[in-house]
Structure 1
């Protein structure tokens, strides 16, 4: 399957949109079924008990864009690694036939896979660290790197970090991020897919590998520049995390405590002497803070908090 929908898929999707976002089996010709299957596989049509519903193409574009950026990064890494991989073969050939071209010098440059590289790079960072961290970040992992991050900030280095909403929905992780924010770290939230990367002083980048204990170090200026440009693109699209990191209003805290005890919205309003509309506003702020889609989901998050 190609990255983008073909003409038949586009035409059928637009027909579904013009029909109010719905397709019914009786509207489909026999030749349409492979096209429908392709649209379902792409996520542009969602099966329902009565037919199909059109989905927003933006999510497809975000996903394909992330996949293309990952593919491009891997190609860049492969291009940088290839001369080093072939160097033993070149040495063997030239030992027999003599050198036919200047051999590349061995040394640090391009891509090197090394374990436990981040603490050393953090210690040598003098200006700025850019960090894109997709997926939920466990509070324990954030706690283990707190000392290093705070030392970086106290040296006067800038720290910009991208997180996804799942991380800021965890109260324990949120407390860890707040400690960094109070020391000057800038934190933003992006709900779209993006790739994990660390960039030190815009000169060295670390990318993940299949081995979680090892990282690919990139020092080629062109490759690092490419990674920085994509970080800046994602940063510009992200939302500042200030409203997550600021302490909630005391009344909002009281509403949360009562919800955590199992009280309904009406019961909370009666207990606090507030209107249900006011309580609903506090609940909406709590849902934004914890990334909760439903009141049940919010209650689940609140029960995990400590309420002294």
Structure 2
């Protein structure tokens, strides 16, 4: 055994004592002591204070009786319990005067709740999903989602499917080139999960059982709004249905009316946004692609129209018939 191995530690709790530690501790208890060198495979015994140096011989270790070790740790737990009991009494005393006031007036139902931070947003989403029985409607703009996000979607989707609920999700066309999203769709196929795509979508939206909806309140998605007003939720569900009716199922190819200039549907959408005055970054964000891909499409668009400058490109787009196609 090398010196580094001998000096390593076993970072586990005493409730998860490793096999080497169990065998060595038992041996030490039977014989009353154990050579220090034999404990090298289980340095955790010293870390957990189950062995201590022999006062008569530095080369040996003596075991701490299990009753003493157990009592010491139980005392720590009991102390924590006592502290928490005192805290619960103090909290009860603090809030008791307000309970009487609250009992006189029914608690309000908030139509809009502001959620700040990923942890609070995700906790609210998980709670809403746990209460969902029938369906979840989601709009997920942008390109392919991360592996972690898709794995979480699989877990949540299967939990809802187990209760007989369904999920309908709208992505942008760009996810058709995302292997992760395609794998997720294949994994969830037949589990009451439908996916459709559109070229352009509004910002993120989640609607649970048409009783609660969530939308972002900032571009960085660090603040979200939880909406429970029936009128607002109904309106957002109608917006979803409007986009859903125009979207193409993921299992079907996307078709566009061809233009005489050979302009693709994506390039036609980019041309429309260019004429409206949007910069490359804004166009990429709205169409769910990265800026480099967006600029590559702009270059192909310029080549197809014979443009030699950005200003000329805008003029040629306006003069062509591609936006009428």
Structure 2 length as normaliser, TM-score? 0.41
The higher radius of gyration belongs to 2
